[in-house]
Chain A
């Protein structure tokens, strides 16, 4: 099935997309959750969803960073020269994402622990995560545009201020809202779930309208061998699910929204990747012939089983 075949590069691609999708769930929760908690803090509302989100944000960021190591590894196999070159062209400004994440992390702890500093901490966190999201979006664009590399290097510019970054970020913003709502809704009370349904729906509308607008303006529609249609259908199904969840928070709407969002996430990851699949470096002799796949596969099974055991153990914890 396109874009997967029997090649080793295809296996890297599968692992890249799977780990990227997992990473997106966590970072979506963190970015949108921080803004949600910030709005609640500014409004001084006693929103139980915001309280729960604040409690979970540091863990979710830790999980997001950990999950992010996977795609960071596999992208270096798929697009090594482009990825490294984009890193280098953006230079120290790209390296700033790490201190931004460290500041953001401790800001989340501060927001959790101190009511006095909460708004400032969440505002700082939101700025940091916004900067990281923007930097990754820029990096993605720089990777694609090898014709501009020489000029960018010669000018010493560290920013790639291109219009294409804006709709890309807007689509991400919508997706993050939808992902956040999906995860947060499962542990929310009916009133909170209703509110999150609206947020999930709003996220889907933002992403959908921005994507549609981009297609109309650029007159460039890529069906990605049908994956784009799958994405659209899944997004519509998710919207329907959120509609049901808003009307009956205890009904099956959330299950439908979750399943459809998961499908949309997978399809969206493929659609996002489609334009640069032709750029995959396929002649990587050293990488093609190296060993260790079996060890990784066995470790992955053990690791997943261990994590499942940990989750089961803590779910049984009293209180």
Chain B
């Protein structure tokens, strides 16, 4: 059967070496989100300062014409291209996930594309013709640019938040039930606040590079700093976001998974520092912010964005689309069939590495199908290290009852032979391939396989947490 025709889509899997796939997509995603949000906030800031400029604040006008070139050269180009890179990277990491997102939301994605096209057109028009245009046309162009970029966020936000809280969409509520999901509004407001803050901080850096006396810079800085004020509402919005999260996701973030909790702490701590400086220092005390401090705050904002995106991705576990698709690119309803058939029965792609036994080769295929999306063998989030000290039976038990071993893991989507093959592969890899006798017949006696099968049955095929 051609790979195109199999009932469950199987895709070739690429090895990224010691890099966990999540790190690859995370790296691209964080840069993209940061730049895209900066472009939105920057657009709003420019509209505001253009308005000030037309009411007599000449420096505001000078700022707009200088700042916009930086915005165009950085955020348009790298932002737009990292958007395309996100698409390609997502295909590399989870082709079935992006496929489901496209299937479900293609018209809304196309809607987002139209606004993106308007944003780019308005942006370039201002970049190229802005200095020659009259005040009214300038203001309108900037308004179109800011509105279109925010609407682009509006549409993509619904698709991304759906992954985490699809809600009534799971009951057949349709595309709008999925789009206006529980985390849609807190995410949108949060991202809008982040956008204006990034725009303001970048604006403060640019103002410090302008050839102006200090008092005129200070006046301009005060105007720009107002755009960071929405950071004050972020704690409330963050609490709202936490409140609408599924209970198990919330528990990972609030102590259930220390790495995730630490990232929550980093995001909250960095945001608190920025917010404190902006609210107390810039807005209340009217302090002068120099370029170095503004750069430091922007770097902190990047750290907060990175941590926040990690939290958002991590909170989805064990799904990429909650209730619909596991991080292994297997649908929940397919697990039972794979328990019967085996995890790799339909996998048409050969291995690219040779192994001394068939069982090890099967283990490698199982690892590729069920583990590779989030783990490596020896690099980041390494399977060998996570299981190094477990006894053989403990390893069998923990894999067979995977969703109970760790609540953010999906149920094992294979049969007893698959579990045993994976166990033997992990031991083989742990011992640097030096102990093939571990794969002897004794390691997979009928009694062992029967025990694994019992454990699989006890674990069931449902995830550990509630679906919604």
Residues of A within 8 A of B (CB): 12, 15, 59, 62-63, 65-70, 72-74, 76-77, 80-82, 84-85, 87-89, 91-92, 94-95, 97-98, 101-102, 105-106, 109, 146-147, 149-150, 153-154, 156, 279, 281, 284, 286-287, 290-293, 295-296, 299-300, 302-303, 306-307, 310-311, 313-314, 316-319
Contacts and interface: CB of A to CB of B under 8 A. Distances in A.
Contacts of B87: 72
30 contacts: A76-B98, A80-B99, A80-B102, A81-B4, A84-B11, A84-B98, A85-B4, A85-B11, A87-B95, A88-B13, A98-B84, A98-B85, A98-B88, A146-B2, A150-B349, A154-B350, A286-B100, A292-B107, A292-B111, A295-B111, A296-B110, A299-B111, A299-B114, A303-B118, A307-B121, A310-B118, A313-B141, A314-B133, A317-B132, A317-B133
A293 B107 contact: yes
A314 B129 contact: yes
A34 B136 CA distance: 36
Contacts of B132: 317-319
Given A303-B118, A317-B133, A81 B84 contact: no
A303 B11 contact: no
Contacts of A12: 106
A73 B103 contact: no
B117 A66 contact: yes
Interface string B105-125: 111111101111110111011
Given A59-B128, A84-B91, A102-B81, A296 B350 contact: no
B245 to A, nearest CB: 25
A252 to B, nearest CB: 30
B89 interface: yes
B9 A81 contact: yes
Contact of A296 (B98, B107, B124): B107
B170 interface: no
B78 interface: yes
A282 B154 CA distance: 30
B110 A94 contact: no
> Chain B binding site: helix, strand, loop or mixed by DSSP?
helix
Contacts of B114: 296, 299-300, 302-303
B321 to A, nearest CB: 11
B390 interface: no
B92 A87 contact: yes
B140 A313 contact: yes
A53 to B, nearest CB: 15
Contacts of B453: none
Contacts of B66: none
Contacts of B108: 292, 295-296
A310 B125 contact: yes
B449 interface: no
B80 A66 contact: yes
A80 B13 CA distance: 16
A292 B84 contact: no
Interface of B: 2-4, 9, 11-14, 73, 76-78, 80-85, 87-89, 91-92, 95, 98-100, 102-111, 113-118, 120-122, 124-125, 128-129, 132-133, 137, 140-141, 144, 148, 174-176, 348-352
Nearest to B2: A146
Contacts of A98: 81-82, 84-85, 88
> Chain A binding site: helix, strand, loop or mixed by DSSP?
helix
Contacts of A81: 3-4, 9, 11
Nearest to A98: B85
A310 B11 contact: no
A153 B15 CA distance: 12
Contacts of B144: 306, 310
A318 B352 CA distance: 63
A62 B75 CA distance: 12
Contacts of A91: 14, 92
Contacts of B349: 149-150, 153-154
Contacts of B125: 310-311, 313-314
Contacts of B133: 313-314, 317
A305 to B, nearest CB: 10
Contacts of A147: 2
A292 to B, nearest CB: 3
Given A63-B121, A68-B84, A286-B104, 16 more contacts: A65-B80, A76-B99, A85-B95, A94-B88, A95-B85, A95-B92, A105-B77, A284-B103, A290-B106, A292-B108, A296-B110, A299-B111, A300-B114, A310-B125, A311-B121, A313-B133
A153 B11 CA distance: 10
Given A66-B80, A105-B81, A84 B107 contact: no
B3 A146 contact: yes
Nearest to B101: A76
B352 to A, nearest CB: 6
A92 B82 CA distance: 15
B12 A153 contact: yes
A27 B259 CA distance: 44
Given A59-B124, A94-B88, A106-B77, A149 B12 contact: yes
Contacts of B4: 81-82, 85, 146, 279, 281
B106 A88 contact: no
A286 B117 CA distance: 27
B107 A295 contact: yes
Contacts of B76: 62
Nearest to A75: B102
Contacts of B73: 109
Nearest to B123: A62
Contacts of A69: 83-84, 113, 116
In the A-B complex, the 10 residue pairs with the smallest Cβ-Cβ separation, listed nearest first, are A292-B107, A303-B114, A287-B103, A84-B95, A286-B103, A291-B175, A98-B85, A314-B129, A296-B107, A317-B132
Nearest to B88: A95
Nearest to B151: A299
A270 B111 CA distance: 24
Contacts of B91: 84, 87-88
B175 to A, nearest CB: 4
A295 B151 CA distance: 13
Given A77-B103, A292-B175, A317 B129 contact: yes
Contacts of A310: 118, 121-122, 125, 141, 144
B106 A77 contact: yes
A67 B124 CA distance: 14
B446 to A, nearest CB: 33
